[in-house]
Amino acid sequence: MKNINRIRCVDIINEVKLNLSLNDITVVFDDININEIPNKGIDSFLYFNTMDSEKEKEIYNSLSEEKKLKYKTSSCAIHYPNISAYELSSIYKNGDYTGLYDIINEMIKDLHINSYSSEIILVIFTFLHELGHWKQLAEFDYVVCDFNSHYYLDYQTEEKLSKRAEKLYEDYKEYHHLIEKLNPVDIQSLSEEEVRILEPFVFGLNRIQREYRNIPKEMEADNFAKKMLQNINLKTIIYSLTGID
């Protein structure tokens, strides 16, 4: 039996890829310092990139506007942190102040999968969400302009929400030393007055995150992830990873 706390995201995602026969899906596992992750609201350290190759970007940027309209990307990729499932879960629980961890659990609570490791399920769901964005691009036959045009308004909304989150952090910059204590352990050291001061900040970030999840592009990816969670063989994946039947 393997120690669940030591199971790495790369191993979980590779098991999911194997289970779903996703041989053509590129996942880049980025080395990150979990103690230096910038938290700016909805910005994420795991994401889908429609054109990941710098060389391809150069080729694309050199094309005429007419040719860009029909250009199909060949280097899309999902970026995921090269850390353990336990570390990822800790970041969402302790270092993310938008309430995303609770939002994800709300989305999947009706799937009746709470008998499985919550850390592993979090990795699988977030990976499947990014895979949902890959599917969106594939539906446009990997033509980047068509994809971007279709979701233009969504990207505009995303940018506005990101700026709102940045402004919220700026407005509370004098309280950053208190914000860092917004986790299950350190929050106990905050006074009632300090908690009261931070309430609008937490409420504001949570509202921004929920608005972000309601953007059509993100809702589609969330719904795709939920559907796939019901279709994949979780029992087989969990057993392969943990040895627990």
- Can you give the pLDDT at residue 38? 54
Residue 45's alpha-carbon distances to 73, 100, 104, 234, in angstroms, are 22, 13, 16, 25
Rounded Cα distance between 175 and 163, Å, is 19
For Cα atoms 99, 104, 149, give the angle at the middle one, nearest 5 degrees: 95
- pTM of the predicted protein model: 0.92
Average pLDDT over residues 165-193: 85
pLDDT attached to residue 185: 66
Query: How many other β-carbons are positioned within 10 Å of the β-carbon of residue 174?
Result: 8
Q: Residue 189 in contact with residue 89, Cβ under 8 Å? A: no
Contact, 29 vs 9, CB < 8 A?
Answer: yes
Residue bearing the bigger pLDDT, 54 or 2? 54
Span 130-138, average pLDDT: 98
Looking at residue 37, its pLDDT comes to 61
